[in-house]
Structure 1
Amino acid sequence: MNQDRHHGGGHGPTHLFRTVAAGPVLPVLIVLVVVLVDLVGGAGMIWLPLLAAGPALAATTNRPRGVLCVGLLAAALAAALGVRHEVPARELAVVLSSLTAVTLASGLAGALRVRRERVLAAVRSVAEAAQHALLKPVPEIVGPFEVAVRYSAAAAEARIGGDLYALVNTPYGVRLIVGDVRGKGLPAVGTAALVLGVFREAAYDEPDLLTVVDRIERSLARNLGADDFVTAVVAGHPRVGRLEMVNCGHAPPLLVRAAGDVAAVEPTRPAPPLGLRALTDETPSLQVLPFDDGDQLLLYTDGVTEARDHGRAFYPLAEGLARHLSDEPARTLDALHDELLDHVGGRLHDDAALLLIRKPAAADLPQPAADGLLLGDRAG
C-alpha cells in the first residue's frame, strides 16, 4: 500500500519545460537567438559577449560534456561573426578568451552539481529506507479492519519527520497509535523511533491498553529532555463491537458512524502528553466506545488541522471528511490528502499523518487465500 503519493502528472507544460531544460536544447537556443539578433542588428562586437550565456545556462542542467559542447558552439559562432563584422583581432581574442573561461568555469560547476546530485540521491535512498524501517507499510486489511494511511513530511527531501503511526494485530486484538513528537529534524525522528519500538513490543506483551501507554511513558521519561514530549492516541479493538482509546494530549480522533455522522471523540478526562506525566497529577484514562459494522475512525496529527491557506484559515478536517466519505478508506484519504494540498497551495509546512480504519461486515472482507493469509496481508 502506498503511503507517500506523488502529485502532478508527468505531462503538460511543466513537464515539457523540464524535458527541454534537461538537455542542451535551451542553451543552444539562447546561443542561436544571440546570433540571430547579431545578424539582424549588425552591431557586431556589442552582442558577441552575450554568447557566454549559453554555456553558463548549460551548467545548471547538463553534464560537463554538454557544457563544453555548447561552449565550443558559442566560440565557433563568435569567431564566424567576428570575421563577418571585421572585428579587430585583439577584441575578438578577448571575446573568445572570455567564452573559453566561462565555458571552463561552467563545466566545473556542472561537474560539482552532478556530484552533489549523486550525494543527494544517496541521502534520499537512505531516508526512504529509514522511513520504511520506522513507518512500516500498513496492509490494506489488518484483522477485521480496512486500513489506509497517508503521510507527508514537511522536509520533502528527507521524507521522514516527527509524526508517527503504527497498527499491529496482537493476541489482544488490533492496536494502533498515532502521535506527534515535539520539534522537527533528526531528534524528532529518533524520539518517534523510540515510541514506535516500545509500542510494537508492549502491544504484543500487555493485555491492558493502559499498561501499553505506561510502558511508553516510562521509556520516554528515561530518554527525553525536560522540554520534550509526544502527543499520541493509542487505541485497541479487544473484541467485536468494542473500541478502547487512550488520548495523551493529542487531537481528538474523528468517529464516523455507519449512517455518515462525523463527531470528534473528546477525551473524558484530559491527560498530559507522553513524557510529561511526572509534572502533573493527571493520568491517562481508558475510554470505551461502541464500534460496529460500517463505523470508521480517523486519527491524524496537527499538521493536518493546522494547515492554513493563503488567508490563514485552518483546514476544516471534519467537513472535508464528511464531503469525501466513502466505503473505501484509501479513496477517502486520497480525496482528503488532495484537498489538503490544494488548501495550502501545494506544500505542507508541517509533518502530516492520516490513518483511517473501517469496520466492514465480516462478509465483505476478503476470504483467506489457499496459504491461509488474507489477500490484503500480501501488501505488507
Structure 2
Amino acid sequence: MSGDGGRRLLDRYPRAGRRDAVHRHELLRIRGRSVAWIPPLILLLAIVAVDYQTPRDFRIISWLVLVPGIAAAICGLRGTVVYAVLAPAVYLLADTALPDQYQAGMADFVLAALGGILAMAACAVRVRGERRMVHMRDIADATRRTVLRPLPPGFGGLDHAYVHLAADTDARVGGDFYDIQPGPHGTRVLLGDVQGKGLAAVDVAAALLGTFREAGYHEADLCTVAERLEIRMIRHRARLAALGDPEGDRFATAVLLGFTDDAPDTVDVIVFGHDPPLIVGPRGVRALPPGDTLPLGLAELGLRAGPPPVNRVPLEPGETLLMTTDGVTEARDRHGVFYPLGDEVAGALSADPRAVEPRRLVALVRDGTLRHCGGRLADDTTVFAVRRLR
C-alpha cells in the first residue's frame, strides 16, 4: 500500500523502496518514452562539431570510439548496434572531407570500428545479465506473494492497511511476516519478526505463517494457536539443526490478536517478546502492556509452564491497533536518535483526527520512518494497522 507521497519518498530513498538496478533505465524516460539514445547522439555531434571548429592539425575525430561505448552502457542492443555502425560511418565522412595531409587515416577508423564491435559485445552481456536479474526479481515477487499474501479489503471483518519494506532489496522479502486469518471462531491477526534478515529468515517466516493459517482457522482457543506456533518453531529449528544449518537457532518475536464475535468491543492479545501494539483512537494513543511471554522458539527458557496468557483489552469504537516491527522502533537518524513512534502518531492525531484510519496511519508511520533514517533501513520494516469494521 502506497500513495503518491509514498512513491515520492521511495524515489528519494531508493534503497528503502522497490527500485533496484534492473529499473535504472526508468530514469532515462520522459513521459514513458525512452531517451537513452540522446546522450550518445549528443556526444557524436559534439565530437564532430569540435573537430570541425578546431585547427586542422588538432583532430579529435577518433574520439568517436566513445559513442558506442556510451550506448552500450545505457541503450539496448539495437541502439548500440546503430551507434556501432554510425560512429565509423561518421568518421569516414568527416575524415575524407579534409585534405589528405590532415586526414587521420585508416588506423583510427579501425579503432572506431573495433570499439563498436566491443561495445555490441559488452551490451549483449549487460542485457543478458539484466534479463537474468528481471527473472530473479519475478521469482522473488512470486515468493513474496506466497509468503506475504495480498489481503483483500475488509478481510475478516477488519479495516486494515499494511506496508512492508525489506532491508534486503534483492530478496524483496525478509524476516517480517503478517497475515489475517478469518474462521469459525473469529478473526486472528499475526505480525512477527524473525531474528535476522534475508532469505534465511524467509524460510522461518513461511513456516510460521503456514501454521498460523491452519491453526488460526481451526482452533477455537487463541492459546492453542499460540502453542501451535511455538511447536512449529521448535520443529523448524530441529530440522535446520539436523541439516547442519549454522543459523538454525533463530527465534521470532510476534503479536497474536483475536477478534471474536461474542465480544465485539474487545481484542485478545498475546505478545511473544515483541513491541506491544499501540491503540490509536479519537482520545489519543495508548500502549498495551508488554507481557511476559518469550519469543517463539524460546519458551523452554521461561519459568512459566502451560499456555501463554491472553490479555483481553477493551476497545472503543473507531480505535485502531497499530503494530510495527523493529525496523520502525529501532530506526535512527544521523545523530543516533530512535524514531519517536508514539509521539509522532499522537502529534498527527491531534492535528488531524482522520489519522486514526488504518490507511492514513500506516502511511504516516512509513513516511516518518523513511524521513527519520534517511531511507537507510537497517532491518526489515513492517507497519500493520487493523480495526473492526462497524
Task: State the TM-score, normalizing by the size of structure 2.
Answer: 0.83
Q: Deviations over 1:285-321 (max 9, x none)?
A: 2212111311111011001122223333322221222
TM-aligned CA distance change 1:317 to 1:43, over 3 Å? farther
Q: Does 1:262 align with 2:275?
A: no
Q: Give the partner amino acid of 1:322.
A: A
Q: 1:36 aligns with which of 23, 32, 49?
A: 49
Q: Is the 8 A contact 2:268 2:310 kept in 1?
A: yes
Deviation at 1:158, TM superposition (A): 3.0
Partner of 2:318: 294
Deviation at 1:282, TM superposition (A): 4.2
Q: For the residues of structure 1 that align with 2:2 and 2:139, how far apart are their CA atoms?
A: 17
Q: Give the partner amino acid of 2:359.
A: A
Q: Give the partner amino acid of 1:115.
A: R
TM-aligned CA distance change 1:335 to 1:72, over 3 Å? same
TM-aligned CA distance change 1:127 to 1:16, over 3 Å? closer
Q: Is the 8 A contact 2:275 2:290 kept in 1?
A: no
TM-aligned CA distance change 1:55 to 1:340, over 3 Å? same
Q: 2:379 aligns with which of 343, 350, 358?
A: 350
**Residue 7 of structure 2 aligns to a residue in which SS?**
coil
Partner of 1:8: 8
**Residue 275 of structure 1 aligns to a residue in which SS?**
coil
Q: Deviations over 1:323-343 (max 9, x none)?
A: 444243112212332232222
Partner of 1:232: 254
Q: For the residues of structure 1 that align with 2:102 and 2:116, how far apart are their CA atoms?
A: 21
Q: 2:357 aligns with which of 328, 336, 361?
A: 328
Q: Does 1:280 align with 2:302?
A: yes
Q: For the residues of structure 2 that align with 1:44 and 1:115, how far apart are their CA atoms?
A: 43
**Residue 105 of structure 2 aligns to a residue in which SS?**
helix
Q: For the residues of structure 2 that align with 1:53 and 1:80, how far apart are their CA atoms?
A: 17
Note the 1:189-208 alignment, pairs <5 A. 189-208=202-221
TM-aligned CA distance change 1:331 to 1:212, over 3 Å? same
Q: For the residues of structure 1 that align with 2:338 and 2:52, how far apart are their CA atoms?
A: 57
Q: Does 1:243 align with 2:243?
A: no
Q: 2:72 aligns with which of 41, 59, 75?
A: 59
Deviation at 1:43, TM superposition (A): 5.3
**Residue 313 of structure 1 aligns to a residue in which SS?**
coil
Partner of 2:18: none
Q: Deviations over 1:134-159 (max 9, x none)?
A: 11112221344311111111222432
Q: Unaligned regions of 5+ residues in structure 2, if any?
A: 12-24, 242-247, 350-354
Deviation at 1:266, TM superposition (A): 2.5
**Alignment length, in residue pairs?**
356
Q: For the residues of structure 2 that align with 1:128 and 1:294, how far apart are their CA atoms?
A: 34
Q: Is the 8 A contact 2:333 2:339 kept in 1?
A: yes
Q: Does 1:339 align with 2:368?
A: yes
Q: 2:198 aligns with which of 170, 185, 202?
A: 185
Q: Give the partner amino acid of 1:8.
A: R
Deviation at 1:44, TM superposition (A): 5.2
Over the matched positions of the two proteins, sequence identity in percent amounts to 34
**Residue 247 of structure 1 aligns to a residue in which SS?**
strand
TM-aligned CA distance change 1:146 to 1:297, over 3 Å? same
Q: Deviations over 1:69-113 (max 9, x none)?
A: 112222222223333454669952221111112111111111122
Q: Does 1:94 align with 2:118?
A: no
State the superposition RMSD in angstroms. Answer: 2.7
Q: Unaligned regions of 5+ residues in structure 1, if any?
A: 363-380
Q: Is the 8 A contact 2:96 2:103 kept in 1?
A: no
TM-aligned CA distance change 1:89 to 1:42, over 3 Å? closer
Q: Deviations over 1:7-37 (max 9, x none)?
A: 13999xx977444875321111111111222
Partner of 2:332: 308
TM-aligned CA distance change 1:44 to 1:172, over 3 Å? farther
Q: For the residues of structure 2 that align with 1:351 and 1:18, how far apart are their CA atoms?
A: 30
Q: Is the 8 A contact 2:59 2:104 kept in 1?
A: no
Q: Is the 8 A contact 2:280 2:321 kept in 1?
A: yes
Q: For the residues of structure 2 that align with 1:334 and 1:10, how far apart are their CA atoms?
A: 12
Partner of 2:134: 121
Task: State the TM-score, normalizing by the size of structure 1.
Answer: 0.85
TM-aligned CA distance change 1:246 to 1:3, over 3 Å? farther
Q: Give the partner amino acid of 1:180.
A: D
Q: Is the 8 A contact 2:72 2:120 kept in 1?
A: yes
